[in-house]
């Protein structure tokens, strides 16, 4: 992934270094640095992140204050519903309702409307904070299908369909009950999925 020809390097956990340390590390290099919601003094600009105690209003503020000329990273998220208080880790950070999928659609549209060069899905696999878009009992494939629709709007040649999202689970279920002779066929289907060939993989999984 590149912006204006330069590679993008994302760090999850920048708080383990202080501002002066980051400044020293990048001294002498022409690097644009983005801090969470622009709160770090050493950063060029910011990347958006869910703020459950501030609600979605914080997102509107972020996009108003971000500079398109310097660049920024937008965010989309489906909800925020953490387990920290229930698990006795610490107090809950707060919550942002799912609103029957509207939160994910709205936050994605805000990021698109702000002309963000990159949109993060935050955090797409964080079950502890309830921000996952992975398949779940509660929401099934809804959020992934929403993401497919947005992808298709920006890239009309995007070839994958909602049915393709179900293929990995089909493969898993078939593997659980497969006999020895079927395993090669399933291995082939797995290789096809890895290569992005969902059409041929689906034929083998029928």
Report the distance separating Cα 34 and Cα 40, nearest Å: 8
Q: How do residues 84-96 score in pLDDT, each as one tens digit?
A: 999 999 999 999 9
Q: Is 80 exceeded by the pLDDT of residue 131?
A: yes
Grade residue 68 by pLDDT with cuts at 50, 70 and 90.
Answer: low
CA 38 to chain centre: 19
Rounded average pLDDT over 160-170:
97
Q: Is 60 exceeded by the pLDDT of residue 41?
A: no
Q: How far is CA 183 from CA 171, 178, 197, 203, in A?
A: 11, 6, 19, 15
Report the distance separating Cα 22 and Cα 28, nearest Å: 12
Nearest alpha-carbon partner for 167 in 124, 205, 125: 205
Residue 188's pLDDT is what? 97
Report the distance separating Cα 79 and Cα 97, nearest Å: 5
Share of the chain above pLDDT 90, in %: 56
Bond preceding residue 123 cis, omega within 30 of 0 = yes
Rounded average pLDDT over 167-180:
92
| More reliable by pLDDT, 17 or 137 | 137
| More reliable by pLDDT, 141 or 2 | 141
Q: Which residues contact 7 (CB under 8 A, 6 or more apart)?
A: 1
Q: How do residues 9-25 score in pLDDT, each as one tens digit?
A: 777 777 788 878 878 88
Rounded average pLDDT over 30-43:
58
Share of the chain above pLDDT 70, in %: 90
Alpha-carbon radius of gyration of the chain: 20
DSSP, residue by residue, 127-160: GGGT---S-BTTTBTHHHHHHHHHHHHH-TT---
Rounded average pLDDT over 87-106:
95
């Amino acid at each position: 992934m590149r912006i204006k020809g330069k590679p993008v390097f994302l760090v999850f956990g920048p708080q383990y270094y202080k501002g002066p340390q980051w400044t020293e590390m990048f001294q002498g290099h022409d690097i644009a640095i983005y801090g969470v919601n622009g709160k770090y003094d050493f950063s060029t600009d910011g990347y958006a992140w869910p703020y459950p105690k501030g609600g979605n209003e914080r997102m509107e503020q972020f996009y108003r204050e971000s500079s398109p000329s310097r660049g920024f990273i937008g965010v989309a998220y489906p909800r925020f519903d953490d387990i920290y208080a229930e698990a006795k880790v610490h107090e809950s950070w707060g919550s942002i309702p799912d609103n029957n999928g509207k939160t994910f659609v709205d936050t994605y549209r805000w990021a698109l409307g702000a002309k963000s060069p990159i949109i993060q899905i935050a955090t797409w696999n964080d079950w502890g904070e309830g921000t996952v878009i992975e398949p779940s009992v509660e929401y099934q494939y809804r959020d992934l299908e929403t993401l497919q629709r947005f992808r298709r709007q920006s890239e009309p040649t995007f070839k994958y369909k909602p049915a393709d999202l179900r293929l990995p689970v089909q493969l898993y279920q078939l593997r659980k009950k497969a006999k020895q002779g079927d395993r090669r066929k399933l291995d082939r289907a797995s290789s096809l999925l890895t290569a992005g060939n969902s059409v041929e993989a689906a034929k083998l999984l029928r």
